[in-house]
Amino acid sequence: MTDWQVTSSHWGAFEARVEDGRMVATRPFAADPSPTRIPEAVPAAVHHRLRVARPSVRRGWLTSRERAGRGSDEFVELPWDEALDIAAAEIGRVRAEHGNEAIYGGSYGWSSAGRFHHAQSQVHRFLNSIGGYVASFGSYSTGCAQSIMPHVFGIDFLSFLYSHQDGWKTICDHTETLVMFGGVNQKNAQVSMGGVTEHETEGWFGRFADKGMVRVNVGPQRGDAPEGCDWLPVRPGSDTALMLGLAYVLETEDLADRDFLARCCEGYERFRLYLLGESDGVAKSPDWASALCGVAPGAIVALARRMASTRCFITVAWSLQRGERGEQPYWMSAVLAAMLGQMGLPGGGVGYGYGAIGGVGKTMRAVGGMTLPQGINPVRRAIPVARVADMLRQPGGPYQFNGRNETYPDIRLICWAGGNPYHHHQDLNALHEAWKTPETIIVNEPWWTATAKRADIVFPATTPYEREDIGRSSMDDYLFHMPALVPPQGEARDDYDIYAGLAERLGAGADFTEGRSAAEWIAHLYEGFRAGAGDLDLPDLDSLRARNWMRLPIREDGAPRSLFRQFRADPEAHPLGTPSGRIEIFSQTIDSFGYDDCPGHPTWLPPAEWLGAATAEAPLHMVSPQPGDKLHSQLEAALADAPGARPETLLIHPEDAAARGIATGDLLRVHNARGSVRARARVTDDILSGVVALPTGAWYGDPGGQIDPNGNPNVLTRDVGTSRLAQGCSAHSALVEVSRL
């Protein structure tokens, strides 16, 4: 095959050229107005020397079941049948001796945009077919918001995010002032769950500029919003203080919409006592806020007045809730929007996650999905996703989560597919030690990632380019047939075939497969999608294969979307799902939990590590944004081969660089009490003084307790929950020092 063929991915559609069984080149999809360059690395990654070639079992585990060698031990390659026999026997042993509550089913992963070969669905379906597993709640990206915002708005956060927020066209048509806490980052908008075919963020911001919209980027990096936006530099972790200062101006200058607060909100008067300092003796004035966030009092006053006098839309990046006390800025942003009284008006109010992924801001008519059924999990226990290391360290230990008193399960076996916890978890040196606790770790993985190297049994998995699938996202208006572009590399097998083999050996083959091959499942899921597509004229599967892709007529640009439209008009007739039926500025439910780290209304609660608590040993605040050249740590095998690609680049302000004798290009040691990593300096005034930025994505480099050679910032980040309410990850609450190597 030598023709160009279209396929889909989480970073969008692209065309691939294959010659003699090898992918040799990619090029952008013609319909994409602003294509990403991420696919350029795909051919090298697919055929990389770090592919897992054959089923492999760690020698120390094979001979004596020891655990200490995870990460340093060698692996023994075995035939498929023997490796599957060994893995099935071990799973059976753990189930017999400890029950299915001793099995943890990974968390989540972005391994494929295809609907059938979705690794999380595959591993969970398999584990449910054999009696269940301990699951996880939320994600590292939004776990904190998924816990706090249902208390505030009375709706599942992801449902609100994807189905009830204003689209880009509505914002363009109506918004006069766009205030972006954490920015709207085009880099992050390159990717989306299930794919984003037309990358539109850059184009919409061009239209915003043309119409004269004021666009304010509130955050520590200028690059967190498109060029041309006003930049209001703010210390990381201080957004709640700034929002309180803005709210103080609205209240004391009689700019708050008291009618909206009275009709549509619960508990404002109690919050008002805190805001004015009547309950704690500290007025949350612009002077008070300025000392914490670094924004001049006059700038706070001016912004508050502008927000109140124009149609204002507040956006909040996912990054704000990925820090200690991350519940507070999310809750406070809702309170600030409520005080402005524009919630439910087109282009007014508050929205979350714009720029975090490419799908937010696109408005689509809902069409049924294509989802592999995972079955029913008989095990009812689940942990907050970011608490996996605590679970391994503290079997049987107590923890609190969203009003519940829980205990961690005693995990003896982990099955993981499609994800790399050594990318997204915090304090990786500590995770490395906790990872030695389970008796057995089984991983499906295409490459020898840090997670694969720390497994006991590694099954080589195909990439999305070695198998057939259907590409479709509820946030996109394209449908793709994803052909198998190249044969499976080495002895790689699809996750489905791997789990079918294990299920058969464990007496659950029929439950897992239902008698269908992978091709038959794809046909079954697609026909179900066609049947539920209403008036959409969809081709049969053979016709879709022949045409490769089609655009669906489901765009609804400018259509009313906000959850609050009807609620605003008549709160009694259209109540929210909160206990009061209103937006909860004060939550009696949360207050009843008695959490001092998340009280009953938004509160300034400083993180343990931020610039307000900097020390001589760790004077700089490190943020760890997503990379711009890939999704998470995918394709890292190929990208790390490029000259100068590793160690990762760290952004540092000229003042901080000069104080340390650092110039662009210098090799650096970035360190704190949790560890050390190498990085390469880029000196720039596009970052706030006192702050450094080190992107995620570099594979954990096996430092052996010494310096991580690749520059993975999660060696340095804190593994603590955001609070007892959400127990989300606190990646953006980390102090470090930087010095030349």
Name the 3-class secondary structure at 271: helix
SS in 3 state form for 35-77?
CCCHHHHHHHHHCCCCECCCCEEEHHHHHHCCCCCCCCCCEEE
In the 8-state DSSP scheme, what is residue 714?
G
Alpha carbon distance 174, 179 (integer Å): 14
Active site residue 110: yes
The Cα–Cα gap between 529 and 523 comes to: 10
- CA distance linking residue 54 with residue 14, whole number of Å: 29
Q: String of b and e for 103-113 (b: at least 16 CB within 10 Å)?
A: bbbbbbbbbbb
Q: Give Cα 98 distance to the centre of its chain.
A: 32
Report phi then psi at 7, rounded to 5. Answer: -140, 170
What is the Cα–Cα distance from 240 to 268, expressed in whole angstroms? 17
- How far out from the chain centre does Cα 256 lie? 34
Strands 440-445 and 413-417: parallel
Residue 653 burial by CB count (10 A; 0-12/13-18/19+): exposed, middle or buried? buried
C-alpha–C-alpha distance, residues 379 and 128, integer Å? 9
Q: How distant, in Å, are the alpha carbons of 319, 489, 609, 692, 728 from that of 615?
A: 24, 50, 9, 15, 25
- Annotated catalytic, 274? no
Q: Choosing from 11, 61, 104, 108, which is the catalytic residue?
A: 108
Q: Which residues pair with 358 in a beta bridge?
A: none
Helix 239-252 crosses helix 286-293 at what angle (to 10 degrees)? 170
SS3 content of the chain, % helix, strand, coil (to 5): 35, 20, 45
Enter the tokens of residue 159. 């449902």
| Secondary structure of residue 7 in the 3-state scheme | strand
How far from each other are the two terminal CA atoms of the chain, in whole angstroms? Answer: 49
What is the enclosing helix (H) or strand (E) of 314? strand 312-316
**What 8-state DSSP symbol labels residue 187?**
T
C-alpha–C-alpha distance, residues 717 and 703, integer Å: 16
Side-chain half-sphere CA neighbours of 144 within 13 A: 29
Closest CA to 53 of 418, 414, 440, 462: 462
**Token pair of 107, please?**
């968390």
Helix (H, G, I), strand (E, B) or coil at 578: coil
Q: Name 479's Cβ contacts closer than 8 Å, sequence gap at least 6.
A: 470, 471, 472, 538, 544, 549, 550, 551, 552
The kind and range of the H/E element at 103 are: strand 103-104
Cβ atoms of residues 415 and 127 within 8 Å: yes
Q: How far apart are CA 649 and CA 456, in angstroms?
A: 33
Find the catalytic residue in 110, 231, 352, 549. Answer: 110
User: DSSP 3-state assignment of 659?
Assistant: helix
Beta-bridge mates of residue 707: 676
Cα–Cα distance, 41 to 636 (Å, whole number): 9
Catalytic residue IDs: 108, 110
